[in-house]
Structures are given as C-alpha cells and as structure tokens.
Chain A
Amino acid sequence: MQAAQEQGLATLSLVQIGKLLQNRETTSSEIAEILLDRIGASGNNAYVLTNEQALKAAAISDNRRIAGSPLSGIDGVPAALMDNICVEGMRTTCASRMLEGFVPPYSAAVAESLEQAGVILLGKLNMEEFAVGPTLGERAENTLFATTKNPVDAAYTPGSSSAGPAAAVAEDTAYFALGSDVGGSARQSAAFCGVVGLRPGFGRVSRYGLVQCASSLDQISITGKDAADCALVLSLIAGYDARDPAACKDRTPDYLRNLMGAVRLKELRIGVPKEYMGQEVGEEIRQSVKSLSAAMQEAGAVVEECSLPHTDYAVSAYQVIAAAEFSSNMNRYDGVKFGYRTASYENYDDMLRKTRTEAFGEDVKRKMLFGAYILSQEGFNAWFKPAQRVRTLVRDDFQRVFGKYDILLAPTSPVTAWPVSKQFSDPAEACAMDLCTVSASLAGLPAISIPCGNDSAGLPIGLQLIGPALSEDLLLQVARGAEELCGLV
C-alpha cells in the first residue's frame, strides 16, 4: 500500500505535486526521499551525482511552508540539472575526464532561478561528453560515466546528448529537468523516452553558466511530463539577463496561466512541412502526424502542407557550424585555470597536448579536428561561409511560412528509438536522424516535442511543434491542445 502511494506521488506531474504541496497533502521531505530512493534503485544511469544536501533543503522548504512563506508555488519540488549546468559548489563534469574534479565557483542563471523558487536540486544528470552529439557512425558516449538507458526499454537508445534529463523524467526520479538543446538533443531524447522536451527560442532563457558547446546554437532546454509543466518552469527561468549577450528584453508572459485558458484551435493555421514527411520518416510516425492533423482540423484548425525548401541542406550547415564553434570553444581547456592537467610534461606545449590527449574522448577529438579544418583558410571559404549562407536561407524559409501559418507540425525524429546495438555505417544516415530538429536550432526558434502514442514495437513517438521567434506562449498553448487531442491530459 505504502509502495503504491509512493509510486503514485512520484508519477504526478509538476503542476499536480505543486498543488499537493500547497494543500499540505504531502511534504517536500517526503517526496524528496521517495525520489532519492528511486534514484538509488534505478539502473538507468540517468543521474551522475546526487545532491547530499537535498533532504536538508527539503526540510527547510517544509519549514517555509509551515511558516506560510513559500518562495513559489513549487517551493520544495525536486528537480535535476544536466551535468553541463553549473551549480556553485557542486561538481560539474560535462561527463568528461577534463572536468572530472571541477567545482564551479558560481551558479548558472537558471540554477539561481530555481533556487530562488525553492526547487530542490536532487542531482546532476548524465549526458554525452560535452554534449558533442553524434558525429558519425556511432552515438557518442562519455569518458566518465556509464551510458544512460531508456526507461521505456533498455534495449533501445534514450537519444543523444540530453539522455539524462529525458530518462530522469521518464523514470519518475525528477518532476522536471533542465538540460541543453543544440541541434535537437533535448527534443529527440524526450521523443524517445515518451516525455515532453521544450527548446525555448534563442535569447528567451539566459545561458549564463551553461558550459558552452556551440555558442550560436546552445539553448537551455526543459524536459517535463507535459506542456503545462514546461510552461510553469519556463515562467521561472525566462527573462532578460545581462550576463548572456544573446538574452532578449521581451516581456516574459505567465505561460502557465495563459496555457490554462481555452486553446483556440479554431482560429489556428497549422503548416505541415512536406520536407519533414519524406520517405526517410517512418510510416507509423507519418501516420501519427496525419492523425493529429486530422484531429486538429476537426477541432477547427486549418491544417495544410507547406514547404521549407532548404531543409535538405540544414543538416550539413548545422554540422559545419556546430563543429566550428565547438572547436573554438574547446580551446579554453588548457590545463591552467581549471580542469585536468597531465601529470608529467616537458614544457607548456607538451602539457597542453598531453592534457587534451588524455582527457578528451574520441568524439570530442573528432569534432575539434573537423571544426579546426572548417575554420582553416581553405575550410572557411569552402564550407563555413556557405553554411552561414544556408542558415540565412533556412531562417528565411521559416519567416516565409510563418507569414501564412501560426505553428508548424512535424515529427521530432524520422524514427523511434533504435536498438542500442545499432551501428550507423554511413555518416549521412547518422546525421539524418537530426533532420527534423536542426532547422529550428539554426533559426533560433522555439520548438517542443510531445509524446503522441507508441509504434507497433511499443516505443514512444514524438511529434514536434515549431513556432515563430519568441512565440513560446502560443507554442505551449497549442502543445496543450495537441496533448488533449492525443488523449494525454
């Protein structure tokens, strides 16, 4: 009986558990203890570190509630951060030997926001080394921790670099998680694990304290159990921050309040890009998009096929730009200010070479080398500049379709999770997995993946909604409406 009650508490959404805390029907200490027990019992390797201070923080939160002065509606709710988001005094490794012993001297802006809201940080979540993402025929792993398993079925991948947040939310060991989305990893991992993944638009959330991967593409992501949870978290972490030069000064709406109003699908114009529905997309996934399209039409929306003609080049442009920026960013790891330093060396150059050689995994090295080639004189003109021009074309494609449509509907991934034993033999095949997500990243647009049923193998299917720049409010409302149509809420 008690186990069933504990299971019940763990599976609630963020909004639901927040209400129970507000009504004093549970305590932060109780739910933190339940989730910590579940983390200990889980074999999915979602967590790489648990916070020893979590129960103490939960007790303090409970005292605030007793005193009638909670910091927010979700004061005391346990959550987790991917291990590339800095928290002062808490080891942050990016799953790399390079940062194995790194303890940040400051917290990321989003970590500060959660702390100010009284959220209990349960720990840090697994990821691919430096969120490098797959560059070739195998999915990258990390040099420090065991690979994350998909809680839906351990025989299948939990997705790419943001596997930890998706697995933690799917296995009910966090009510929500923050991570990062560069080319779509948060959305893809969410799709593969059957949870919701939101990439806010570029500039909407401060990236101060997020370890940089590809600076013009990096964005903080939210993984949650439904769109309402993501809306609640976005309201907490969005807003201007002078410490992130890309942060926008637009007003931050109350996303959750606006979400709870009636979703007016009747007045919506929804485009379905035909380039995201080609032969490379699985039949069952295409069918899911068509089913949701039909349901939206029945609800009064106008749903039409549209075109983003430069999608075919987006994956190549993304790979070039991301590698170039990654290679540049990794130069900060010099064995001097922080991070690993080799034990013996003859001079500075020898120290630097041995330090990086010993501390970086092969996928990081490959991307650094590729990026260095792209940034060489030959590569810069041959690939980097064309990639940036294609980025303009991709952005213009979106601007054109958003002149006619409010929101775009597409698959999150062309496939559902593939077996962990699968090896990609062709780089084009591996990179094609990013087909549906990289364009929104290149254009800096908000996008969300929501689960919409399972395929015949029982694996979750993720559908993606993409909105114009800074349209998170509408995007979340439509996501909520889509969830209702999918029978999820």
Chain B
Amino acid sequence: MRITEETMRKLSGLVKINLTEAESSRLALTIEDMLHLADKLEEADTAGVAETSHAVQLQSVYREDVMVRSPSREKMLANAPERDETCFITPKVLE
C-alpha cells in the first residue's frame, strides 16, 4: 500500500478537508486503485518525449487598451459569507 494512514493525513492537510477514520480508510483504498490505473503510464515509452500541458499552444495575450466595465464592488461582495461595506472579512490568519 502506497497510500498509508500517514499519507492520508498529509493529503487531507494539503486539501484542507477533515476525514473520519472510516472515510480515510475508504478513500485510501480507492485512491490506491486510481494509482494502480495510473501505473499503466509506466508501460508507455516516453523517453525523450516532451510534455504537453495544453493541447493548443497558449500565447501571451495582450488585450486592446480600451476601458471595459467590470462588475461593481457591491456585486463582487454580494456573495461573500461575511463582509463589511468595502471588504471581504476573514477570520484572523496570523495568530
């Protein structure tokens, strides 16, 4: 098993999701299965092959230097779980 309890603790910390012991065990098994599927990649002869991150070559895009209207601050704040007149409010980040 590559996905140990310790690995699951580390992963849940990375994605910031709490897992019960039962969830962790269940998900570890299925992630192990997914890795098994991914192991198929080892069989492909990829020596000297370049990596493709996008199917279409992305190019640096410069937009026309014209003014465009953006959603108002009020609209952008309207979905915030907590806010004041002009800002999003978060719990304190630094102790």
Q: Which residues of A contact B (CB under 8 A)?
A: 101-103, 105-106, 135-137, 202-203, 216, 242, 245-246, 248, 310, 312-313, 315-317, 319-320, 323, 327, 330-331, 335-341, 345, 347-354, 356-357, 360, 362, 365-366, 368-370, 372-374, 376, 383, 385-393, 395, 426-428, 431, 442-445, 469
Contacts and interface: CB of A to CB of B under 8 A. Distances in A.
Given A352-B16, A389-B51, A105 B76 contact: yes
B86 interface: no
Q: Which 3 A-B pairs have the closest CB atoms?
A: A444-B55, A341-B81, A338-B79
B62 to A, nearest CB: 9
A389 B30 contact: no
B15 A369 contact: yes
Contacts of B71: 105-106
A386 B31 contact: no
Interface string B10-37: 0110111111000100010011011111
A366 B14 CA distance: 13
A295 B79 CA distance: 55
A386 B37 CA distance: 13
Contact of A385 (B51, B56, B90): B51
Contacts of A392: 49-52
A356 B37 contact: no
Nearest to A341: B81
Given A105-B75, A368-B15, A443 B44 contact: no
B61 A390 contact: no
Q: Is the interface of B mostly helix, strand, loop or mixed?
A: loop
A388 B49 CA distance: 9
14 contacts: A105-B75, A203-B56, A216-B54, A316-B41, A336-B81, A336-B90, A349-B16, A353-B16, A357-B18, A369-B31, A370-B34, A391-B55, A427-B37, A444-B55
B17 A356 contact: yes
A385 B19 CA distance: 29
Interface residues of B, number: 55
Nearest to A374: B38
Interface of B: 3, 7-8, 11-12, 14-19, 23, 27, 30-31, 33-44, 46, 49-56, 58, 61, 63-64, 71-72, 75-76, 78-82, 88, 90-93, 95
Contacts of B12: 369
A136 B33 contact: yes
A197 to B, nearest CB: 19
B55 A442 contact: yes
Contacts of A331: 15
B18 A431 contact: no
A348 B92 contact: yes
B30 A337 contact: no
B79 A105 contact: yes
A427 B36 contact: yes
A381 to B, nearest CB: 12
Of listed A310, A335, A348, A373, residue having the most chain B CB within 10 A:
A373
A248 B41 contact: no
A331 B15 CA distance: 7
A353 to B, nearest CB: 5
A313 B43 contact: yes
Given A338-B80, A347-B95, A386 B42 contact: yes
A313 B54 contact: no
A395 B50 CA distance: 12
Contact of B15 (A248, A349, A350, A356): A356
Nearest to B89: A336
B58 A246 contact: yes
A136 B63 CA distance: 42
Contacts of B39: 316
B16 to A, nearest CB: 5
A16 B39 CA distance: 50
B31 A366 contact: yes
A348 B86 CA distance: 20
Contacts of A386: 41-42, 44, 46
A436 B42 CA distance: 21
B49 A337 contact: no
A353 B17 contact: yes
Contacts of B31: 366, 369-370, 373
